[in-house]
Structure 1
Amino acid sequence: MSEKIFSTHPLHPQVTGELRSLGTLVVASEPSPAAILAESAGASIIVVRAPIPAEIFAREPGLRAAVRHGAGLDMIPLDAATAAGVLVANVPGVNAVTVAEHCIWSALALLRRYPQLSHDLKSDGWTKARAHSDHGRELSGRTLGIVGMGNVGNALFRIAHAGFGMKVLAVTSRPEALPEGAQAAALRDVLSQSDVVVLCCPLTEATRGMIGADEIGLMSAGAILVNVARGPVVHEQALISALESGRIGGAVLDVFDTQPLPDDHPYLAMHNVILTPHMAGITEESMLRMGQGVVMETRRILAGERPDNFCNPTAWERYLRRFG
């Protein structure tokens, strides 16, 4: 009998074809908890691009693995999967340059006042829009602070340092692994000394709420905060207050406490903010790379092999008792 491969979202066409060669591919009618819970019944593999209800793992006797279409594991209840003997795999690093490019172009756009001038050009004409140019700033030669030197942090360093001649300060737990040209620094120093601060760390109990009013208060008046990590890393109301008062120069936000962003959210009325709907790591190219990683891990797991990027190895013995 063909194995059921359930995906929370549509995938790249090439990836869709490859997964269909491995089993029966079913895509959720919508990426809601209710639809995922109901439509994943009988799945052997779940391809994860939306939060997975924890009860699925204990419910499904034939569920072999949850494979993350990307790197972050916050969408998968890891403890529940491990307890049920379900393997968890991910595809780290393949969209790092995609996220890094997003950080650079959006920081540039804020420094050059793109949101304001685009709005004014469309609503009030050439002269008003052009007046913003006197206050635009260059990225080259400025200081970049990177909080989290994983795959994204390292890709961002390469672009910023080699391409824009930026000084790079990094908050990292492994200073010995920093690339040449990056300088390890404490969070307080990164916030106070950087023109652009990029948050690209995982969401953990240590990073939840890490950037609050006190931390934002350390930033210089024209500094830009970029969050491509997770929304709860930043205390949302503190950031709203800082942006409304002009305490910092602006923010680039790809992730939020509540997603989708509510229609009445204060961010939507701000011209010193660039908002994107959690898509910093998504391009046609990265979707293909992430999907190819999913295919490779799915093929290994269905063949009875351990995944290459095995995120809960303590589940292996329990998995073997279930599937032999």
Structure 2
Amino acid sequence: MPTIFSTHPLHPEAAARLKDHGDLVVASAIDAVTLADEARSADIVIVRAVLPPVLFERAANLRAAIRHGAGLDMIPLEAATRAGVLVANVPGANARTVAEHVLWTSLALLRKFRQVDRDLRKVGWLAGREHAASGNDLSGRTIGIVGFGAVGRHVAGIAQNGFGLDVIVNSRAPRDLPSGARFASVDELVSESDIVVLCCPLTPETTGLVGRERIGLMKPGALLINVARGPVVDDAALIDALSAGHIGGAALDVFTTQPLPADHPYLGFDNVIVTPHMAGITEESMMRMGIGAAEETVRVLNGELPVNLRNPEVIDHYRRRFPS
């Protein structure tokens, strides 16, 4: 039986779909040394942790690295392609889940949930209630969405149709915008939006995209929501803006360093919601992502190419390694 190596446990329904196709092995730890060592005999790797490039040099039988989700930054694409390994992902499986997180954290920041909850528990009813008068409605505001893939489209749909928000979009390919939404440059978007949402992929172009200058363009009291990747934001610039009270708050699910250090300045702000890279994780989304990764695994083991192949230039090399 082929060996299917997963960096993390899979949803039971996903594991069940793989039962007759291979032996599922879960990593004992997710550090680079352990992953490279334990994946040596793998035919497939299902990815929820950063893979070291050396893994692809050592795993002689490896056919595919399949991302349990959408973002490909955990897979060293060049190393995989050089080794003749297919790379696939499961785009869109958790997009609605991430979009719900964006709107949830936006509401929590506007209604000062952290302050209300803290003072209600520690001081009392009236102390918690006191924050309500300085809270704000979500409806009627402008939301700016940087990155208009599956997540961005879901954010726009919920924001526009569910809460009556005006929608501004920035995307590498400004096409098929929903009715009522408009395209803007990043500078225009951050200066005009009450809520700036980052849901773009991490690329050389988006690294440091929201730095000191663009944070300075944001409206006083505006919110920044990052469900993209940590390096899209300049941490020092954001911390300075929060300390100065220039913006109203932030909701951060991703960070340049993960896990976030226990003494990180972000943890000291009442108007910052910090979550442990979980915007796309729920029972339902884990099932969808797991099943999607399992289905791609079965295709590859059956001699087919993945539906969501992300390095098509590897096909000739792959076919030489595994003649059909």
Range class of TM-score, shorter chain: over 0.9
Higher mean displacement: 109-118 or 172-181: 172-181
Q: Structure 1, residues 249-291: CA drift from partner, whole Å, max 9, x if none?
A: 0000000010000011111111110011001001100011111
Matches within 5 A, 1:148-167: 148-167=147-166
Q: Structure 1, residues 75-116: CA drift from partner, whole Å, max 9, x if none?
A: 000000001100000000111100000000000000000011
Match of 2:5 in 1: 6
Match of 2:113 in 1: 114
Check whether the contact 2:40–2:60 (CA below 8 A) recurs between aligned residues. no
Deviation at 1:34, TM superposition (A): 2.2
Matches within 5 A, 1:1-324: 2-324=1-323
Check whether the contact 2:98–2:151 (CA below 8 A) recurs between aligned residues. yes
SS at match of 2:49: coil
User: How far apart, in 1, do the equivalents of 2:240 and 2:29 lie?
Assistant: 35
User: How far apart, in 2, do the equivalents of 1:124 and 1:217 lie?
Assistant: 35
User: How far apart, in 2, do the equivalents of 1:104 and 1:176 lie?
Assistant: 23
Letter in 2 for 1:274: I
User: How far apart, in 2, do the equivalents of 1:34 and 1:182 lie?
Assistant: 47
User: How far apart, in 1, do the equivalents of 2:133 and 2:12 lie?
Assistant: 46
Deviation at 1:224, TM superposition (A): 0.4
Check whether the contact 2:4–2:42 (CA below 8 A) recurs between aligned residues. yes
Higher mean displacement: 20-29 or 273-282: 20-29
User: How far apart, in 1, do the equivalents of 2:123 and 2:219 lie?
Assistant: 31
Check whether the contact 2:42–2:61 (CA below 8 A) recurs between aligned residues. yes
TM-score when normalising by structure 1:
0.98
Deviation at 1:21, TM superposition (A): 2.1
How many pairs are equivalent? 323
Check whether the contact 2:300–2:306 (CA below 8 A) recurs between aligned residues. yes
User: How far apart, in 2, do the equivalents of 1:133 and 1:35 lie?
Assistant: 49
Q: Structure 1, residues 192-233: CA drift from partner, whole Å, max 9, x if none?
A: 111100000000000000111110011111100000000000
Check whether the contact 2:37–2:55 (CA below 8 A) recurs between aligned residues. no
Deviation at 1:60, TM superposition (A): 1.5
Deviation at 1:28, TM superposition (A): 0.7
Deviation at 1:43, TM superposition (A): 0.1
User: How far apart, in 2, do the equivalents of 1:25 and 1:254 lie?
Assistant: 30
Q: Mark the runs of 5 or more structure 2 residues left unpaired by the alignment.
A: none
Letter in 2 for 1:163: G
User: How far apart, in 1, do the equivalents of 2:33 and 2:123 lie?
Assistant: 46
Letter in 2 for 1:52: L
SS at match of 1:198: strand
User: After the TM superposition, which segments of 4 or more aligned residues of structure 1 sit over 4 Å from their partners?
Assistant: none
Percent identity between matched residues is: 57
Check whether the contact 2:36–2:58 (CA below 8 A) recurs between aligned residues. no
SS at match of 1:202: coil
User: How far apart, in 2, do the equivalents of 1:55 and 1:90 lie?
Assistant: 20
User: How far apart, in 2, do the equivalents of 1:260 and 1:127 lie?
Assistant: 36
SS at match of 2:14: helix
Q: Mark the runs of 5 or more structure 1 residues left unpaired by the alignment.
A: none
Letter in 2 for 1:4: T
